[in-house]
Structure 1
């Protein structure tokens, strides 16, 4: 479009107006062509502006005759866009050395390459290499002052270049066009078994008056490669590279006979020229070519073998065989060899046969090709399975129907199920035979195992030499307890190798006794512990475990194993923390990690002076569970700690060592679980205070009338300010219940003093307390009236 463009003043915005170019004078040195959709070209004599815009109109120079460094061409054309038209115009085309066509791949006048016979020599003259056209780009007045020079940048690998009487080297790689024109240069092949060679050179213009030197400006240099084709000489016989020609084929099958089985190499001939002849046919089949596998052949080439077109068809006999052949390149004596044909039996092998795992509490599980899969080397790849020994505690189902025959497609589609009926066993099995129409595999077994529904702690570390409780964090059967509605029960099949499991008896001051079984409730209540007594003198830790059977109501029993590591117990440390990962320091990390603390039940104890109280370390108290754990926080502590007689200081008791291990992550606690109990406690306190105030107010209100009545006889004149009577300050204000009459100094008074009922009453007041007008004899009554005449009958003032 930048080279040729025509417009019309009548063109609309949609470009519907077409402008047509008609060629009236064709170019002399080339032609105009149109590029087709398949990248081919076709000559044109007219075209449109839209074709020019799409870059499909091309000028193609005819070549290959030499036109000089530069040449020009042109064509004339007229334009029309009815009803308008334009008179003839001329389009000029410049042709230079830089324009090369696919047929003329060099920028030089000649760079044809050369053909040389293996081990021979060839003369390279100006008919094969000529760069004199480079001078044409100079003005004619300067052309006589320049000449063309060459510099070989990459020497040939399989020969040498001779200029005059010397070989071209990296130190002296130059020669001129004058040498080429007058004497030529010679290429000598090194007689190696090669078919081609080449050298790369630079060509440039150099002043005759100056030494030859390559210009620093690369734009003034033309770089090309001179290619040399080597005609091989058949002087080497074919060489058999395969040490033991052989082929393994399955009985009754066919197999490709490739270069790995038979390979002959001839450096002087291509694979097509290496020919084989079968002298003695195979006795257990025949050779055939691809596309005609039913026809036996007796001749083939190495090219047929390399392209994997040659087959051996086995006739079904169970024995191996051979065939005898010769190979030659047509020039040398043939090579004779035996080819072995080994026949293998058709077999079926299991590629997957893993235990089928049934979760405790479930009764059905799907059997897929991940559990059971087979393969065969025979032609018939459809594998069937026949159940020869059905399961003892269940049955195999497809579409809810019991089956004894299924195939590989049933396993791949997941249609086969195992359904357990009898829930008394923790395992099951069934036997089967895998077979095809050609072979079978008998007495195979699929094992079915019930996996315990329990969460076991991972990476648990148990201190050596002390008793450590096994908490719910490391033996968690809560899910099974909820599923079965019962208390799961552990039966120990194999105790720890380096210790024992014990049951803690809290009603016997923390005493323990070995156990072979325990319940999950015992675990939750902290009644189950482990005692490890391993020899750790030469090692830092030991692995140990115990195997158990987990049982619960209405579910199958299941076998499980708890793995842990025994580590030394350091008595010099107040706390031993063993963990697999660093303790997180931020709140978000703490919310996503659960740490399990395993607390030792017993510690070594010493005597202690009576003035010191033993130190107790209480474990963290966890929330109550559904079996109402009341003894969970009991901790056995030593009774006494003895003084240290050598240092004057008392020995500290061996302290309880919590061991931190990792458990499964669980979500962070809800803040409402903390806030709501606090609010409930606050509300209860407020209600309690209000009730106490109301009770005291009512009690005072009931006691007020009796108090006013008793005070009425001891009232002093009313106050002019308050308008209420005031009692005498000399009269006691305590009202007591009438007692059995007695006299001063009587045994009744003595008993009151003994019981501290009237500890603060003077002897005079005590006599008044026990006096009564109605119940005393006349002498005593007279004495009481004389002592305090203000008293009335049945009133006793203290």
Structure 2
């Protein structure tokens, strides 16, 4: 027997699922949402009871009736629904339980959650639109209390305002106030992120709508009203100041407010006070003058008016300060603060209303004058008009005499019955206080001061002013203090060989209880460079008093040397003696010696040239040199004197020694300049002028010897400005500023050959286009040498011009001499009648065979021409020899003769081999040499006397200048039918 047992759960197992429903709609509760899991229970008759109804909806039957329970069968048929109530809720829930009454079983309660999908069906509602009030030109927040919109089914982040452009400003976000916006959300407003910046009209605003994405509100107007910011003075009391003190300026004197709380007001000084100044107290309790301050500083009591006492006494004076009050964007307000300076004004730290009441300090048992430097009531006279002041005076009436001394007037004690004295007595020094030598340390007397007019019966209001005060006297015990040397300058400077008076600047002591005549100086070590004397008797002294120093009675006489010295001394008041002191004595030289170079040369193209002590040095000649000051009195026109490469008007000898002084040309227009200066020591000075010259950057021959009557090539051997050309990358020019006496500069070659020239360039020199023609000496003995010179101005771009001198010597031509220049033409000498006085030239002249090409002026190769001599009929012709040096003029003819002999021997050998006999008058043509070569053989032939070339006397002056440019001293190549002579 097989028995099956089906075990059934005790509780009805229910499975539920949450579901979603749109706002205001319904959803069937079927087996997909509510299900019974066990088959036993699913076949039973099950009832579902609504334990907890939904809050935002109902459980309804198919026909719409609300249900509190339903069956499982109705669930399976889909007749039970959840109906949402269309509220703006986003979620809901309800609780069910299942029961099977027949079998008495039930389930646990289960809750089903409902998610509501909202539907945007509510339009936005504008709940607040109060408008905005803003300060003119300022910005203000647009808050939710001014502008607010609500929407039941739309969050604030999705409520968007769309605005038109405001007509009196712009709307922006706080994070970017410079960028205008035309839309923002309610969330921006709620967070305080929207601001309005006013600009323009006082009344305006903007139109706007609000949208939630589905619905848009009507057009609204947001009104913005601007109110101006104003500054108003609420208190403006006059400032009362006691003379010579500082008085705090409070809000009672300058009380200003704005119509907007919290706005700071600043004060700017337009017109400062005449009789004082405005000052501000800082954190360190120090005062500084100001021109601006704030309302806060004013309220803290940190702003003061400080009165500055004038030299003349007064009683009342008036001053004022003009200020500008500003607090943007409010318009500025001007205000004048009146100030009264008066002795009527109260001041807590001032006990006297007199012009001066300083009291007296006196040594025990001594007598002191009470003068107007410590007691002066002249300010009372200032109460009267000026016309009445001459007839009035101040009278002092003693109310209480001093306890430890006497008051005397003109040497007499004041009477006890009517003790009084006048301000005039005080001014004249007639009033004295005499201490009774008691041990008291303090004394005083009281008095009453008032005005008194001459010949006036009834007292005027001014005379009614009476001041009662106390004059305090401080008494110092005798001998309590030792003398103290308070001299700052312990150096006495004396002129060499003269006398100098010692003053309180050199020796001054301070002794509170000893008069100057009791303070003694005793010299313990006398100076070695002079002596101390009594200036009245001129007697040497070794001891003197402070009183003698104060009267100028002590002098020092220098012994005339420049050695420094010192004086050692002690100070004593009879009871106390100080340690030794030293007074140094410096001697100032009477004379100043200046040593300077004739000129300072600045090399052409150099940036600067240092001034050395070899160029400029001033000295006093003493063992210790003073630092000399050079003061420029006349500024150079084209150059500049510099210290540390900066233009200066003064420099010292020390700076010259340290290599810090230099000169440079700042204008490229002059080759020289000068600077006038005065050199000063402490006691002497000397004036002078320092010449500054540009040194040419060129190589110039030094005194070359040139033959008279010759034409000399002007080239780099004589003038060479190549260094300047390399430095400036230009071709420098020479301008003749002084012609030589025995020569002239001419063009060489070209159309203008032989023409005088005043200006030429380095390039022309290098191309051989400039020559110097040496003139024959018109006077002087034969064989004498003359000195001559030419001056040039050497110029190049960017550098100052320089003057250069070309010195040279001229003398008669010596054919055997060696000249340091290229001779384009040598001088000619007149021969004797027998033809034996020709120049001594190696080799004999040869006649030149006739040639149909000779025309007198031939174009010789390389500009060279052969030398010709005349025949016997022309014995007076002058030879013309062109050579670069006499050495070659001797060697070349010898080599030519040897070459001719060698060729003749070869020719003879050749004729013998041919066995030719007889004599034939045959011309053998020489092979035409190549250009620049010397012919290997010369041709000789008999010539008809009729065909002889006539020789003419050639003078150097008649030489064609164009031919001269081609002349050279090297051996030229021979053309056809030409030979050497």
Fold-level similarity (TM above 0.5): no
**More helix as a share of residues:** 1
Q: Which has the larger radius of gyration?
A: 2
Higher relative contact order (CA 8 A, sep 6+): 1
TM-score range, shorter chain: 0.3 to 0.5
* TM-score normalised per structure 1: 0.34
